Structures are given as C-alpha cells and as structure tokens.
Structure 1
C-alpha cells in the first residue's frame, strides 16, 4: 500500500511537470464564412474571366500569435462568374460546373489542408498544403498574410494536375484563340 501511494504521488508529480512544460497556447480560429471571400481568375488567349466561390468551412491554427496550420473546404457548387451578365454568365457558370471543368455534381467540394507553415516576416508566411480538387490531391505552395483577425492568401493553381484539361494546350493541339491557360489564380480575404 505504501508503494502504491508513493507511485501515485510520483506519477502525479511527473504528469504535472510534463503538462506544465509541454502545454502550448494553441488556438483554433474558425473562419467567418459569411465575411470571407474567395475570388478566382482564369486566363485564356483572348482575355480572362473572374468570379467568386464560397468557403463552406475553415479554420486557422495559431500558437500564440503565430500561424501553425489551417484547413478549408470550398463549396464548388457556388462557382460564380462576376465579369459577365445574362446568357453568357449562365453559360460560363454552367460550363465551369460541368465535367469539362470541375464536375461539381460528383465533386461538390474542394479541400485545402496546410502541411507546413514557415514565417517569412512579422505577418507573412509561406504555406505548403495539400489541395484536393475533383478527388485528386497535389501539394501547393502559397503565401498568406495575417493582420489581427483577418488574413489574405494568394494561390496559383495548375488545373491540369486535377484532371481539368478542357482547352489546355498541354493536352490539345490546334486550339489557337480558344486556348485556356493551365493556371488560374485564387485570392482569399478571410476573417476569423
């Protein structure tokens, strides 16, 4: 009995000592999806188109005031063109949602999971993450800046890595002025 009490006291002291020195101030900040915005811009030989897409859910992880991780789910069914009106807008929105592009019926969400975060300045970070679009996951590197409860991130995505080949000169010859460049931009203004 004496040994049992002694062992419990030692175990308690070791546990308290370990917890007091390993506890890190980790904080998970949920993204306010109604106050955050993602803008996309795609390029073609004859110009470009842009629009928005909604964040379904997301969070950023912090240790103190330093960014340590994050994860986002994008609602692909909300792809919206903002530089066109009427019939042309409807056609492009429908085409982007079709299997030629993002196949939103079979793949209604896309996901980004941070795998590495490196500070590059007071409020700036280089992030490496796993981006999943149309069921395909690839590593992507981008920058993010944090200011108080807001963040801005810029990504350049090669759509062909996710099976989005429509109009790509990497896969089709003779497209001429119908060619669509492989990379598109995403700029996110986030609030948490």
Structure 2
C-alpha cells in the first residue's frame, strides 16, 4: 500500500511538471501560409510569402510566446500573370520596397501574450523588416494544430515609402496606401 501511494504521488508530480513545462510547437513551413494585400488608389494586388521557420511556445496549454522568420525572397504575386506578374514581383523585391538582395528575411518575435478568451490571445510583437524593428499588435486564434491572425502593417514605419501619399505630395492616382494587409495561417 505504501508503494502504491508513492507511485501515485510520483505520477501526480510528473503530470504537474507537464502542466508547467514549456512546450514548443514548430510550424510546418510548407503548410503554413502568409497572404498579403496591398492597395492603391486605382486598385489592389495580392500575393503570398513563405515562412523560413517559426514556432509557438505554450505553458500549461496556454500560448506564451512565438517567433517566426519569413523568406522575403519568396514574395509572390497571385493576381497577375506573365510579364506584369514578373515586373511587380521584381519591384517588390527591389530597394523601393523590401530590398531582398540585402534583406532576405523578416522576423516577428512575440513580446507579450495575454489570453482574451478561450483560444484567443492579444499579442504584442517586434516585427523587423529591412533591419527596422517596430512593435505590432494583433489577436491570434489558436486551435489544436493551427493558429490564425489578420493584421495590417504600415510599410512607412519600415522605410518603405515608395508612392506613399502620406510622405509625397502630388502623386494623384499613383498613391499606394501605407498599410498592407496580412492573413496568416500557422499549421503545426
């Protein structure tokens, strides 16, 4: 009986340690997606980018952190084909926008995570684009094997000022809006 009690106490201790031990879930980079939309006065363009790596951290089943690296050379335009697709992708990779020859990756590192309700977290993170780091905030919905979020990024905060109506006057219908939209799905 004494041995059974000892085993039971040890079992409870092991279960308790799992509840408080951090667990890292690496994302499946080929199944996870980043979709973007950039808008201008005369319309919009959309596309995708790929993750290089990333992971979410949990403790006691609750989200506590995360970090991700995006392959900026993977910028892909999905609403155009042929020559125009190639030209826009080339321009997005050029110094006017992401400068992917010099800045091949961007990173997102969670700084604070607060649970808003079951499976929904308010996240503040440091986003680094072109070696410029600024805070971003967004809500992240977490399921058993996935997480999703949608948020906007003001490109001018990262030195991407090309045809920005808030920076340059007299652009007329050539204005590209400062914010671009991201829809992110993480699979792990």
> Equivalent residue for 2:44?
48
CA deviation after TM superposition for structure 1 residue 170, in Å: 1.4
- Residue 109 of structure 2 is aligned to residue 120 of structure 1: no
1:69-91 deviation line (CA, Å, top 9, x unaligned): 00000000000000000111000
Equivalent residue, structure 2, for 1:188? 184
Give CA deviations for 1:22-64 in whole Å, capped at 9, x if unaligned.
x822100001001111001111011111000000000000012
Q: Does 1:158 align with 2:154?
A: yes
Q: Could you tell me which of 119, 135, 139 is aligned with 1:139?
A: 135
What secondary structure sits across from 1:89 in the alignment?
helix
Query: Which residue of 2 is the match for residue 86 of structure 1?
Result: 82
Equivalent residue, structure 2, for 1:10 = none
Query: With structure 2 as the length reference, what TM-score do the two structures score?
Result: 0.89
In 2: Cα distance, 1:55 partner to 1:165 partner: 24
Partner in structure 1 of residue 24 of structure 2:
28
Structure 2: tracts of 5 or more residues without a match? 1-15
Which runs of 4 or more aligned residues in structure 1 lie more than 4 Å from their structure 2 counterparts after TM superposition?
none
Match of 1:169 in 2: 165
Equivalents in 2 of 1:152, 1:105: separation in Å? 29
Computing the radius of gyration from Cα coordinates, the structure with the larger value is 1
Structure 1 length-normalised TM: 0.87
Query: Match of 1:34, SS?
Result: coil
Q: Across the two proteins, how many residue pairs are aligned to each other?
A: 174
Q: What are the superposed Cα offsets for residues 9-32 of structure 1, whole Å, 9 maximum, x if unpaired?
A: xxxxxxxxxxx88x8221000010
- Secondary structure of the equivalent of 2:117? coil
> Deviation digits for residues 64-121 of structure 1, max 9, x if unmatched?
2210000000000000000000111000000000000000001000000000001111
Distance 1:27 1:88 in 2: 45
Instruction: Spell out the pairing of 1:31-110 with structure 2 (5 A cutoff).
Output: 31-110=27-106
Instruction: Tell me the alpha carbon deviations over residues 137-171 of structure 1, each in whole angstroms, 9 at most, x when there is no partner.
Output: 00000111011111101121000000000010111
Considering only aligned residues, what root-mean-square deviation do their CA atoms show, in Å? 1.6
- The 2-side partners of 1:164 and 1:109 are apart by 15
